[in-house]
Amino acid sequence: MTEAQIKEVIFKLLKRIAPESDPQSLGPDENVRRALDIDSFDALNFFIHLHEELGVTIPESDYGQMNTLSEMVRYLVKHAG
Amino acid sequence: MFWMPIKKHVASFAVRPNLLDYDETRARFSWDAIRGELDGLPGGRGLNIAHEAVDRHAAGPLASRIALRWLGSEGEIQDYTYADLSGASSRFANILKGLGIARGDTVCALAGRVPELYLAALGTLKNASVFCPLFSAFGPEPIFQRLSRGDARALVTTERQYRQKIIPLMDRLPKLSRVLLVDAPDHVADNLLSLPRMMAEASDAFTIPPTDPEDMAVLHFTSGTTGMPKGAVHVHNAVLTHYMTGKYVLDFHPGDVFWCTADPGWITGTSYGIIAPLLHGITNIVDEADFDAERWCRILESQKVTVWYTAPTAIRRLMRIGVEPRLKCDLHHLRLVHSVGEPLNPEAVVWGEKGLGLPVHDNWWQTETGGIMIANFASMEIRPGSMGRPLPGIDAAIVRRIDKDHVEEIRDPGTQGELALRPGWPSMFRAYLHDEERYRKCFAGGWYFTGDLAKLDADGYFWFVGRADDIIKTAGHMVGPFEVESTLMEHPAVAEAGVIGKPDPMIGEIVKAFVALKSGFEPNEELRLELIGFARKRLGSAVAPKEIEFQPNLPKNKAGKIMRRLLKAREMGLPEGDLSTLETSP
């Protein structure tokens, strides 16, 4: 899976949680939860859906490694293959 | 399923609990004796929370002890000793005084867990003004309700919050004369000021003015079923409850390191995230970041936390990590774990023993009570799933209202009724601000009605059953369905909205809205997302519905009122009960 495809899935899921937002305008190092007002319940569902969409198992203890867009992409690229 | 009580072997505890014999402590308890353990303002000038929490320690042997250790989300650490905290909160008090913010004036805070929030809270109390914290994930509408109903004179906030949420409200808030920005290096305008600059310029010497124990100290808003949020008024005398519960429930001992994970936007984060640990002269840990299992385990370990006060949602999240935290981290400093916010399921109480090496002590209280009222104690066996037993000085009962003035106490074990408390404890709310009628309705027949349904067992343990009204408890905080419905109704496509709490295994309940559309609008995914976004923009993530379901029309009673209870029963697949008042045709 390419970085672009991963980003597309991330944007789609974020848009579902925060439809009023424009995830594509996020800076690569911006804290996604803070920028888009995503609470911990929605964050949990986001990670669960990432797993469903990408098939990447993300343990709860790794959630803290994915605060920004670039961190998410890096993690998912690394664990996808 | 029956869960075995968790027995305690107190004789083997490294630290002797402050409450050893429950019955004896209750029998000999007096609020006067608790008052005797506090100092009062010098010269008999009254009782002020900030003096008891900070200044009296700063003037004594604890001056150089770390009072507040702040952990920034990017890994920064800031320490404030009691002496530092005294000086910094005095600077804030001097700023307020200089701005003409006087005794009884409301100072609101809308910021994440940044150090300035804590300095502002204590400085406001020193100035005998009223501190009113708002949760930073509120959207503009809940913020407006609280700022206007609370008569806010000053607001402490961040540039981001100000820009996104406050600017559009300013015209509607004529009383709000000053906004203090915690992250602006310089003043922006006469009424938009840089807090860092003012702190640097202010004096760190401040004499707390005479403070009557009944003077207003803290204003916390809580949600109602029918109307907009209510401002529960707390007074300086509440400090007696904060101190007493710190002693008997949280079981503070000299040298303890305490971490309360609650945000001061909710009352747990004020009573226990700021006040109670400082009253006992111990170290209070504040973490700026939100829940992160790995980070939280590391904090417990690296900060050598001895007493931890957290929430069911966090415990359930920790249960998800697979590896037990005590195997990942060294938790041997941890002595006691407490939980509040919503009932902790027995599985989670018991998991504590396996996952943390300690059982979790659940307790119960609410915004109106100001402090913990019913608790599982360190020295007593835990009944998993129970909220525990009433504190010394607190009388609780299960009651049934007979009429406006008469109440019957239900003494049969296991019989459901409303949980009630005998009024008069020091941290009882003194009013709903500007809403005398709603306040009066909470009391009848010599009892305060909590709005929670519960049972009492034969051994005096209380068990939570549910809410007696439609208030939604989500992730430990209350959401009023009316607030959410009102916002949805502002959307041009919405004809009717009914909002309920849908049970959720992780956060208790989620906010779910049922919506009937005006003619000409089609229920589809696009509109559903639009409505969610519409609500989030106005209410913020803490209040906006997570789910929206379209229905052709909503069930109403003969008076035309939407029947939330029926929506909830249907959602849960429960029997619908008495439908005689239901209007069935559209």
Helices B140-149 & B481-489 angle (0-180, nearest 10): 120
Please list, in sequence order, all residues whose beta carbon lies within 8 angstroms of the beta carbon of residue B36, skipping any fewer than 6 positions away: none
- pLDDT above 90 coverage of chain B, percent: 92
Looking at residue B322, its pLDDT comes to: 77
Helices B312-319 & A40-54 angle (0-180, nearest 10): 20
Q: What are B43-75's pLDDT values in tens digits?
A: 999 999 999 999 999 999 999 999 999 999 999
Q: What is the mean pLDDT of residues B563-571?
A: 93
A70 contact B CB<8A = no
Q: Compute the distance between CA of residue B496 and CA of residue B552 in angstroms, rounded to an integer.
A: 10
Q: Minimal CA–CA distance to B342: which of B297, B379, B310?
A: B310
The mean pLDDT of chain B is 95
Looking at residue B405, its pLDDT comes to: 84
Is pLDDT above 50 for A11? yes
DSSP string, B4-34: --B---GGG-SS--S---HHHHHHH--HHHH
- Sequence ranges of the domains in chain B: 10-20+32-452, 472-583
Give the closest-approach CA distance of A31 to chain B in angstroms.
Answer: 11
Please list, in sequence order, all residues whose beta carbon lies within 8 angstroms of the beta carbon of residue B532, skipping any fewer than 6 positions away: A19, A20, B544, B545, B546, B548
Looking at residue B555, its pLDDT comes to: 93
Interface touch B320/A60, C-beta < 8 Å: yes
Rounded to the nearest 5 degrees, what angle is found at the Cα of B452, between the Cα atoms of B464 and B17?
Answer: 55
Looking at residue B403, its pLDDT comes to: 85
Fold of B472-583: GMP Synthetase; Chain A, domain 3 (3.30.300)
The residue that leads in pLDDT, B2 or B542, is: B542
A81 contact B CB<8A = no
Please list, in sequence order, all residues whose beta carbon lies within 8 angstroms of the beta carbon of residue B437, skipping any fewer than 6 positions away: none
Q: Which of B328, B475, B534 sits opposite A41 (nearest CB)?
A: B475
Check if the beta carbon of residue B564 is closer than 8 Å to that of residue B499. yes
Residue of A nearest to B291 (CA): A40
**Proportion of chain A in helix, strand, coil states, percent, rounded to 5:** 70, 0, 30
Residue B391, both tokens: 């504190």
DSSP string, B471-525: -EEETTEEE-HHHHHHHHHTSTTEEEEEEEEEEETTTEEEEEEEEEEPTT----H
Is the ipTM higher than 0.85? The answer is yes
Selected from 3.30.2420.10, 3.40.50.12780, 3.20.10.10, 3.10.28.10, the CATH number assigned to the domain covering B10-20+32-452 reads 3.40.50.12780
* Contacting residues of B for A61, CB less than 8 Å apart: 293-294, 321-323, 328
Tell me the pTM.
0.94
Q: What are B174-229's pLDDT values in tens digits?
A: 999 999 999 999 999 999 999 999 999 999 999 999 999 999 999 999 988 778 89
Which of the four pLDDT bands, split at 50, 70 and 90, describes residue B293? very high
CA distances from B513 to A75, B19, B487 (A): 35, 45, 11
* Contacting residues of A for B487, CB less than 8 Å apart: none
Check if the beta carbon of residue B417 is closer than 8 Å to that of residue B454. yes
Task: Tell me which amino acid residue B345 is.
Answer: N
Which of the four pLDDT bands, split at 50, 70 and 90, describes residue B585? very low
Q: What are A25-77's pLDDT values in tens digits?
A: 999 999 999 999 999 999 999 999 999 999 999 999 999 999 999 999 999 99
Residue B306, both tokens: 């001895």
Q: What is the mean pLDDT of residues B319-325?
A: 86
Looking at residue A81, its pLDDT comes to: 64
Per DSSP, B344 falls in state P
Q: Compute the distance between CA of residue A36 and CA of residue A19 in angstroms, rounded to an integer.
A: 10
Looking at residue B584, its pLDDT comes to: 46
B375 three-class SS: strand
Looking at residue B586, its pLDDT comes to: 37
Q: What is the mean pLDDT of residues B75-81?
A: 97
Is pLDDT above 80 for B1? no
Ramachandran angles phi, psi of B383, nearest 5° = -100, 105
Q: Which of A31, A44, A62 sits opposite B506 (nearest CB)?
A: A44
Give the closest-approach CA distance of A24 to chain B in angstroms.
Answer: 16
- pLDDT above 70 coverage of chain B, percent: 98
In order of their start, the domains of chain A are: 3-80 (1.10.1200.10)
